Amino acid sequence: MFKKIFAILLLIFCYQNCGEFRSSSYESTTNEFSSAPLIEKNCTDTTGNLPKIELSILNKDEYNNTVNDLFGVKTNPADNLPTPVTGHYDTNNSKVKFNLEQIELYHKLSTQVSAEALRINPNLFNCTSNLSEKNCADFQIKKLGKKVFRKELANSEHSGLLKLYEDGRNKNNESHKEAMANVLTALLTAPQFLYKIVTSKSNSNLDRLDSFELATRLSYFIWSSTPDDRLLDLATSGELKKAETLSNEVKRMLKDTRSKSLAKRFFYQWLEMDKFEDLFFDQATQPLFTARLKSDLMKETLTFFEKLIENNAPVRDIILANYSYLNSNLTKHYKINDHGSNSFIKTALSKDRKGVISHGSLLAKTSHAKETSIILRGVMVLNEFLCQNIPPPPDTPMDENPDVVDTKVGRAEHRASVRECSICHKSIDPIGFGLESYSQLGVFRTSENNKPITTIGKLRDGSSFSTISELSESIAANKYFSKCFSKNLTAYAIGRDINNFDRCFIDNSSIIIEQNKGISELIIQIVQSPLFQTRTK
Amino acid sequence: MAKKLEINRRLILKGAGFSVALPFLEAMLPFSRPSLAADATTPRYLNFFMPNGCIVGDWKPGQAWLSPLNSLNGKYSVIQGLQNDVIAEKTTGEHCHGVSSFLTGKPLRSGNNIFNAKSADQYIADYLYNKTKQSGKRILNIARQGQGSNEDGFSGVYTGSLSWQSANSVAQKYTSTSAAFNFLFDGVPRGEQRGEDKKITNIEKEKIKTASLSRLDFIKDSLVNLKKNLSHTDKIRMDEYESSIRDLERKIANTPTDEVIPGDIIRNCPAGASPPSSNNDLTSYTKVMMDIIALALQCNQTQVVTYLMYPSFKGGSENYGGRSLGHHNLSHYQNESNKRDLRHIYKWYIGNIAYLMNKLDSVQEAGGSILDNSFLIFGAGLGDGSLLRSLGGHRMIELPILLAGGGAGTLTPNKHYKFQGESLGNFHYTCMKKIGLTASNFNGYQKTLNF
């Protein structure tokens, strides 16, 4: 009875016309990548057409990390800003419009941050005795300005800040400390701090970033935070622009704990983990889905990605890893030999699990409480791992009577038999069937609601599979996987959506994945690419 | 009374800090207190949006799922038969229009360049803010989520935005309970007392004001050089930024020294330093948001609230009062059990509205309770989504609309209005006129409806 009711809750719409929809815009194109064999190409032809990276304001995480790294402010003050409309990744935060309401919020934020910075370090603006107060102020302004603006202060900025200080000191009865605090607040309110500014000093349409802009783009990509002293020093000397130095810096930065932000932010957004965080299964239906299990499952996936970076593992491990990071609670949940530890440690998986596709978090977010969903799971694999974007189902009423067709296989067969449905579902459903071996909570199973499950499926390229291992191998071997991952990471890195003119560069960087090199090599390739290093008007 | 409140706040500042949301809010401001509204009959304009429409024929008084309103009889009217002319006929992007044109009445543009129109709540917020010269917030715009899904080539921005500041600019919105709370009550860093407690002298206040203005001078000066080195589009961004700096400068310069506190203008409502926390599940989140709204209205921190209670067109299951249900999927119901689940969801929405109405009705001010002085609109932007009927699939007809409150004397609640396909835009226009706006039309709508 219940099964029947909830079976109906599955999406049973047909997609009006996958093909037609896809051709309407690049974003929705299925075969967006060329099928030519992967060899490194010369992309200079397209460089002139690269889209502009819009001027982007620090997003909440970037702001919070930045004031923490600069001053030790740990209150996450930017969490109180309104929620912006962003691009696909929130590194593209270019749509914030300034008006009085908006500037008041930022104005208040900068007074709060500078007060908090001084509360944490009351000696922040102490002068050493051998400097006159004016020289001390001058020194502090230069040093502070460079750190906060992530570049050497321009002469006009320097003199303006000095004037601000002196006016405060001489005309407004401020102490040295008060006047410097006011300078700090001004720096934090200025667009040079709030925005990741890219200037265009020459008249040419295409230019390389200057070394400070490069340091900024690099550190916000890998750390989601401001460049540290070393990066600023390398930018000052111009050394950072040398390819070898840059590669070494990437490696250094990836070893730093701040690179955990890639797991927390890039991988989280790529796999839409917010859907897992919002997921609610009622206790009556899923008594095992406790707050603890939910948080452990999330931790498993985030730890997996943190370790992927830390260990410089190949990108294909995302799909092919025969290990995961589990605590005792999860080994029991997955019915794997319990290692007895409460920490998330590297654990070999049994044969019936492989890669993140077998993580409970991903499997749960693509399930309904009463039943798994072959459609949601199939769409997840296509959209997120293969960039074969399936349009959302149109709200077109469909003549299907679920009272007649009430089994998963029966409904899938129906979708396959109706042309309008099969256009999309012939790609979606077989993948979903391949994941039927996992319950809503990611536990291996052989039946659902006392009926045996069907797990045989195939990918559009014709490869068929009957186990998770075979499905994972099909995905990893699929030519779209490496390009798709590279596309996503690049979009995150540069803070704009990827477009036709970028394909050549994306193809080039995806070779790294095909060669099974460590993820740091891919990140270096992206950072060295003109997509990352140039600016267009 | 004031003293007692202060003790409450101090206690919270000192110890708790992480007290559960609701007891905290209630402790902060017992609802037996009168509201702090300055003006005798300041109208409030409150909009609550439910996605995905309503079963046709279900939207009428007497339905079991409307029962949470039973204790509030005489305080609301049920309105039937409004439609949004934009998609009275079947077309594409219904969910986008259902949300984004609900308060604008305008068709939307597909593709990358979003285009809509200024929404009714924004017109009303501008009007009330200017009229009452409030020091509070012009509008509180809440959405459960930043962006929704794309649909038929229409941007996901549309499925997540009710309030529009202009044709191409979505209004600033808050999605987290703590951010909304801090926006309204100017949260200061945890553990610190609020500025007004520090008894700052006027000399010090003047000093703070001067320092703020000098800072803005520096920023304006440094923008001159910065803009020389920017590309054309970046320069446009900086122009906006610069003009906002000038607005802020004007505002600070015009603020009487008395009212200056560090960082912001003074508030007269005793809200504290610790924002409420809630689980992110839909039911507890919504309840905390309702508490925040009630407190904000009582403290006169804003007069206009727009709340997109759930994004349209979103898959996945959420907590509706302890049951895990997917609203959008269910809205294309196919049988009686789907309809039962849908009505459970409707009742959940109505329950939340009734919860807020009860709170607002318990606070007395000039002219009655806050509820009596409110235009509280609850509604959906889409019609029936049934797959069983050929007319289904969410046309924007037969929109379910609840109009609660007395509208500061301009509404006569406890009615059942049955319109015959009147435009939703004209409904908004009529509300705007009742509030006191004098425009000759609203986004092209100019007919006054009889309610």
Confidence band, pLDDT 50/70/90 cuts, at residue B277 = low
Clarify whether residues B47 and B75 are in a common domain.
yes
Residue B377's domain comprises: 20-189+274-435
Give the mean model confidence (pLDDT) for residues A323-330: 97
Range of lowest pLDDT (A326-335, A461-470, B10-19): B10-19
Cβ A167–B176 below 8 Å, yes or no? no
| A365 pLDDT above the threshold of 90 | yes
Give the mean model confidence (pLDDT) for residues A77-102: 88
Distance of alpha carbon B327 from alpha carbon A379, whole angstroms: 20
Strand partners, B380: B50
Inter-residue contact B243 to A83 (CB < 8 Å): no
| B417 pLDDT above the threshold of 80 | yes
Domain assignment present for residue A269? The answer is no
Strand partners, A208: A534
| A162 pLDDT above the threshold of 60 | yes
**Helices (runs of H) and strands (runs of E) counted in chain A:** 28, 8
Domain assignment present for residue B447? The answer is no
A53 interfacial to chain B (CB closer than 8 Å): no
Q: What would the two tokens of residue A144 be?
A: 């502070």
Domain assignment present for residue A323? The answer is no
Clarify whether residues A67 and A186 are in a common domain.
yes
Segment A193-231, tens digit of pLDDT: 999 999 877 667 678 899 999 999 999 999 999 999 999
Clarify whether residues A75 and A136 are in a common domain.
yes
Clarify whether residues B297 and B389 are in a common domain.
yes
A163 interfacial to chain B (CB closer than 8 Å): yes
Inter-residue contact B252 to B209 (CB < 8 Å): yes
Residue of A530, A502, A485 lying closest to A214 (CA atoms): A530
Distance of alpha carbon A363 from alpha carbon A135, whole angstroms: 62
Inter-residue contact B87 to B94 (CB < 8 Å): yes
Range of lowest pLDDT (A38-52, A288-302, B117-131): A38-52
Q: How confident is the model at residue B208, as a pLDDT?
A: 86
Give the mean model confidence (pLDDT) for residues A141-162: 96
| Percentages (nearest 5) of helix, strand, coil residues in chain A | 55, 5, 40
Domain assignment present for residue B194? The answer is no
Segment A444-483, tens digit of pLDDT: 998 887 888 877 776 667 777 777 888 888 899 888 999 9
A89 CA to centre of own chain: 6
Residue of B345, B344, B363, B359 lying closest to B309 (CA atoms): B345
Distance of alpha carbon B316 from alpha carbon B326, whole angstroms: 6
Confidence band, pLDDT 50/70/90 cuts, at residue A339 = very high
Q: Where are the beta strands (DSSP E) in B104-183?
A: 140-143, 164-166, 169-170
Residue of B440, B447, B385 lying closest to B422 (CA atoms): B447
Residue B191: how many CB atoms within 10 A of its CB?
Answer: 12
Q: How confident is the model at residue A442, as a pLDDT?
A: 95
Q: Kind of pairing, strands B44-50 and B304-308?
A: parallel
Residue B416: how many CB atoms within 10 A of its CB?
Answer: 11
Of A156, A198, A397, nearest to B222 by CB-CB distance is A156
| B388 pLDDT above the threshold of 90 | no
Q: Which residue has the higher pLDDT, A448 or B238?
A: B238
Give the mean model confidence (pLDDT) for residues A366-395: 85
Q: What would the two tokens of residue A262 be?
A: 């890639």
A287 interfacial to chain B (CB closer than 8 Å): no
Inter-residue contact A331 to A297 (CB < 8 Å): no
- In A345-384, the residues whose Cβ lies within 8 Å of chain B are 365, 368-369, 376
Clarify whether residues B285 and B256 are in a common domain.
no
Nearest CA in chain B to A23: B153
Q: Which residue has the higher pLDDT, B196 or B239?
A: B239
Clarify whether residues B281 and B382 are in a common domain.
yes
Segment B167-188, tens digit of pLDDT: 988 999 999 888 888 788 764 3
Of A8, A54, A191, nearest to B334 by CB-CB distance is A8
Q: Kind of pairing, strands B304-308 and B140-143?
A: parallel
Nearest CA in chain A to B212: A182
Clarify whether residues B385 and B317 are in a common domain.
yes
Domain assignment present for residue A520? The answer is yes
Clarify whether residues B330 and B229 are in a common domain.
no
Clarify whether residues B119 and B230 are in a common domain.
no
Of B219, B230, B317, nearest to A199 by CB-CB distance is B230
Of B138, B146, B189, nearest to A116 by CB-CB distance is B189
- In A64-103, the residues whose Cβ lies within 8 Å of chain B are 75, 77, 79-86, 94, 97-103
Of B223, B229, B332, nearest to A200 by CB-CB distance is B229
Distance of alpha carbon B208 from alpha carbon B257, whole angstroms: 9
User: In B229-250, which positions are buried (b, 16+ CB within 10 angstroms) versus exposed (e)?
Assistant: ebbeebeebbeebbebbebbbe
Residue B221: how many CB atoms within 10 A of its CB?
Answer: 16
Confidence band, pLDDT 50/70/90 cuts, at residue A32 = very low
B246 interfacial to chain A (CB closer than 8 Å): no
Clarify whether residues A175 and A251 are in a common domain.
no
Structural domains in chain B (count): 2
| B77 pLDDT above the threshold of 70 | yes
DSSP string across A59-73: -HHHHHHHHHHHH--
Unique residue bearing structure tokens 């301009």: B410
Radius of gyration of chain A (CA): 26
Clarify whether residues B173 and B218 are in a common domain.
no
Q: How confident is the model at residue B6, as a pLDDT?
A: 31
Segment B293-323, tens digit of pLDDT: 988 888 778 899 999 999 887 777 889 998 9
Domain assignment present for residue B1? The answer is no
Domain assignment present for residue A76? The answer is yes
Residue B59, domain CATH: 3.40.720.10
- Cα angle for residues A176, A182, A186 (degrees, 5° grid): 145
Inter-residue contact A436 to A446 (CB < 8 Å): no
| A110 pLDDT above the threshold of 80 | yes
Q: How confident is the model at residue B331, as a pLDDT?
A: 86
Q: Which residues of A touch B387 (CB under 8 A)?
A: 397-398, 400
Distance of alpha carbon B176 from alpha carbon A76, whole angstroms: 14
Q: How confident is the model at residue B89, as a pLDDT?
A: 58
Q: What would the two tokens of residue B214 be?
A: 């000098």
For chain B, what is the mean pLDDT?
80
Distance of alpha carbon A236 from alpha carbon A456, whole angstroms: 59
Confidence band, pLDDT 50/70/90 cuts, at residue B69 = very high
A108 CA to centre of own chain: 29
Clarify whether residues A140 and A174 are in a common domain.
yes
Q: How confident is the model at residue B41, as a pLDDT?
A: 65
Cβ B332–A397 below 8 Å, yes or no? yes
Q: How confident is the model at residue A421, as a pLDDT?
A: 79
Domain assignment present for residue A310? The answer is no
Segment A219-276, tens digit of pLDDT: 999 999 999 999 999 999 999 999 999 999 999 999 999 999 999 999 999 999 988 9
DSSP string across A220-248: HHHTSS---HHHHHHHHHSGGGSHHHHHH
Give the mean model confidence (pLDDT) for residues A26-46: 55
Give the mean model confidence (pLDDT) for residues A490-515: 91
Q: How confident is the model at residue B71, as a pLDDT?
A: 93
Domain assignment present for residue B442? The answer is no
Q: Kind of pairing, strands B44-50 and B374-380?
A: parallel
| A151 pLDDT above the threshold of 80 | yes
Distance of alpha carbon A371 from alpha carbon A439, whole angstroms: 8
Q: How confident is the model at residue A470, as a pLDDT?
A: 85
- With a pLDDT cut of 70, the percent of chain B lying above it is 80
Confidence band, pLDDT 50/70/90 cuts, at residue B132 = confident
Give the mean model confidence (pLDDT) for residues B103-113: 89
Residue of A244, A306, A232, A304 lying closest to A524 (CA atoms): A244
Clarify whether residues B93 and B144 are in a common domain.
yes
Clarify whether residues A71 and A114 are in a common domain.
yes
Range of lowest pLDDT (A61-65, A447-451, B281-285): A447-451
> How far are the Cα atoms of A435, B288, B423, B436 from residue B404, in angstroms, in the given order?
49, 21, 19, 18
DSSP string across B251-289: HHHHS-GGGEETTEE---S---SS-----SSHHHHHHHH
Confidence band, pLDDT 50/70/90 cuts, at residue B102 = very high
Where would I find the H helices in B186-326? 202-228, 232-254, 282-298
Clarify whether residues A133 and A189 are in a common domain.
yes
Give the mean model confidence (pLDDT) for residues A28-34: 41
Q: What would the two tokens of residue A489 be?
A: 């990471």
Give the mean model confidence (pLDDT) for residues B205-218: 90
Residue A81's domain comprises: 60-194
For chain A, what is the mean pLDDT?
86
Inter-residue contact A14 to A418 (CB < 8 Å): yes
The secondary structure of A18-61, three-state, reads HHHHHCCCHHHCCCCCCCCCCCCCCCHHHHCCCCCCCCCECCHH
Q: How confident is the model at residue A410, as a pLDDT?
A: 80
Give φ, ψ of A347 to 5 degrees.
-135, 130
Distance of alpha carbon A507 from alpha carbon A55, whole angstroms: 26
Give the mean model confidence (pLDDT) for residues A294-312: 97
Inter-residue contact B293 to B378 (CB < 8 Å): no
Q: How confident is the model at residue B233, as a pLDDT?
A: 84
- With a pLDDT cut of 90, the percent of chain A lying above it is 60
Clarify whether residues A79 and A123 are in a common domain.
yes
A447 interfacial to chain B (CB closer than 8 Å): no
Of A85, A161, A394, nearest to B218 by CB-CB distance is A161
Q: Which residues of B touch A201 (CB under 8 A)?
A: 229
Q: How confident is the model at residue B294, as a pLDDT?
A: 87
Distance of alpha carbon B351 from alpha carbon B247, whole angstroms: 41
| A130 pLDDT above the threshold of 60 | yes
Strand partners, B264: B261
Cβ B280–A278 below 8 Å, yes or no? yes
Q: Which residues of A touch B280 (CB under 8 A)?
A: 277-278
Inter-residue contact A522 to A512 (CB < 8 Å): yes
Unique residue bearing structure tokens 């955990």: A260
Clarify whether residues B95 and B239 are in a common domain.
no
Domain assignment present for residue A395? The answer is no
Which residues fall within 8 angstroms of residue B57, CB to CB, at 6 or more apart?
none
- In B129-158, the residues whose Cβ lies within 8 Å of chain A are 137-138, 143, 146-147, 149-153, 157
Q: How far is B175 from chain A (nearest CA, A)?
A: 6
Clarify whether residues B236 and B105 are in a common domain.
no
Distance of alpha carbon B352 from alpha carbon B347, whole angstroms: 9
Clarify whether residues B26 and B111 are in a common domain.
yes
Residue of B136, B196, B184, B132 lying closest to B293 (CA atoms): B184
